[in-house]
Every structure is written in C-alpha cells, then in structure tokens.
Amino acid sequence: GAVVSQHPSWVICKSGTSVKIECRSLDFQATTMFWYRQFPKQSLMLMATSNEGSKATYEQGVEKDKFLINHASLTLSTLTVTSAHPEDSSFYICSARDPRANTEAFFGQGTRLTVV
Amino acid sequence: DQQVKQNSPSLSVQEGRISILNCDYTNSMFDYFLWYKKYPAEGPTFLISISSIKDKNEDGRFTVFLNKSAKHLSLHIVPSQPGDSAVYFCAARGTSGTYKYIFGTGTRLKVLA
C-alpha cells in the first residue's frame, strides 16, 4: 500500500534556529499534502495544505512566515519551522493521498520537535 | 470552535467485550467521516469510513454507525483485543471532494487482558 515517510522522527533544536521536516510519498505522486500539528492530549490540527508547484494554503491562525512550506516535487513536501521557540514544540504530521487510488489519506509517522 | 468532538478522553474495556467510541460533530455539511487509530509516536492509520448517505459500515470487527439527525457517529469494536489499545480519532472531511480532515480530540482505548 501507499506509504508516506517523514524525516526526522524527532529533533531537538535551540531557540532561534530553524528546523526542516520532510514528507515523502514513497510509491505514489501526491499533488496535495497536508501538514498537521498535535499538542499533548489534543486533536490533530490542520496547519496548511501543500500544493505541488504552487503556494501552500494556510489555515486561519497559522503564521505562514513562521511555518514555511515547500512542495517542489510530486513526492516531497517540506515544512520549515523558522526561528523556533519552545512553544513550537509539538508533534508534526503530514498526510498525502494517491489521487489515482480510491483510498483515504496516508499519514507519515510524525516528527516530534522539541525546542530548548 | 471544535467542529468534531470526542467527549470521552479514555475508555477501558475487557478483552472480548465490545468497545464503543463516540464522536459528535456540529457541521451538517460534512459528508464523509473516518476513524483513525494512532499509536504513540506514530502517525494515524486509517481504520474505517462512512459516507453521509449511509448509516452503517462494517469491516471485520469494526463497525461505524452514523446518525445524521443527531450529528453523531460511533465506532464499535467487537470483540475487543489487547492490540486494539490505542488512541482513536474520528475525523470529518471538511469539503466534498477534498481530503482535508478535521479531527476530534481522540479517545484512548485500553483493552484489558
């Protein structure tokens, strides 16, 4: 079945630095990918929709300059958390769907970001 | 404003018994609902779905029921197994034809051996 891979699985960074998270669709081409974040004991909150070859669409309240999304190819979307602060510490998850298949979206394994 | 709600944060069930997980939503425009299962430090895994034109969908031990008038859906797992212990999220597709999901807060299910 379709697989979505995220890298890294976890990362610790210092305040003020930037962190890049990759989301790859391994055996299908994803024209659209989605980025979510999850705080402890809370729901997965959609941050943005990543569209291949065009600008991402951000949900209300999500700072686009803070969370840079690039979807340069049909199999790769990246989320860069710029000038990270401790409150950005969270679990970030991407999802993608194979538009040719009659299946639901597949999720990556997530990235645990800790900003110290 | 939480459009998809799971009011029970946790549930414990004895192995072999039925697990019932509940989910309520507020937006009558949602037309497709899903249940995802999530283990710690992993991404969610799709479990089962139901279209708003149906009131029941069954897949092995898992059955999802939809009550549109009450804006309520439930996931039944029978018989429950220890390996079912995980966090279960219900989700709604926000707009027909897209795969933009709105998730509930999750229910942690613990199946006791």
Determine, for residues B43 and A107 on separate chains, whether the beta-carbon distance falls below 8 Å.
Answer: yes
A10 pLDDT more than 80: yes
| Structure confidence at residue B15 as a pLDDT band (50, 70, 90) | very high
CB of A39 closer than 8 Å to CB of B102: no
Q: Which residues of B14-32 are buried (b: 16+ CB within 10 A; e: fewer)?
A: eeeeebbbbbbbeeeebeb
Determine, for residues B89 and A44 on separate chains, whether the beta-carbon distance falls below 8 Å.
Answer: yes
Interface test with B, best of A44, A90, A98 (most B CBs within 10 A): A44
B48 pLDDT more than 60: yes
Average pLDDT of chain B to the nearest whole number: 92
Interface test with B, best of A4, A58, A107, A113 (most B CBs within 10 A): A107
Q: What is the pLDDT of residues A33-91, one digit of tens each?
A: 999 998 877 888 999 999 888 889 999 999 999 999 999 899 999 999 999 999 999 99
A1 pLDDT more than 60: no
The SS3 assignment for A56 reads: coil
B21 touches chain A (CB under 8 A): no
Chain A nearest CA to B53, separation (Å): 18
Nearest CA to B99 among B54, B39, B36?
B36
B70 pLDDT more than 90: yes
- How many angstroms separate the CA atoms of B5 and B3, rounded? 6
B43 touches chain A (CB under 8 A): yes
CB of B7 closer than 8 Å to CB of B23: no
- In DSSP notation, chain B reads --SEE---SEEEEETTS-EEEEEEE--TT--EEEEEEE-TTS--EEEEEEETT-SEEEETTEEEEEETTTTEEEEEESS--GGG-EEEEEEEESSTT---EEE---EEEEEE-
Summary count for chain A: helices (H), strands (E): 0, 11
| Structure confidence at residue B97 as a pLDDT band (50, 70, 90) | low
CB of B26 closer than 8 Å to CB of B41: no
A53 CB burial (10 A radius; 0-12, 13-18, 19+) = exposed
Determine, for residues A45 and B103 on separate chains, whether the beta-carbon distance falls below 8 Å.
Answer: yes
Given this model, what pLDDT does residue B5 score?
93
Residue whose pair of structure tokens reads 């110290």 in the numeric block: A116
Q: What is the mean pLDDT of residues B31-36?
A: 92
CB of A55 closer than 8 Å to CB of A28: no
Residue whose pair of structure tokens reads 């942690």 in the numeric block: B108
B101 touches chain A (CB under 8 A): yes
Residue whose pair of structure tokens reads 């890049």 in the numeric block: A20
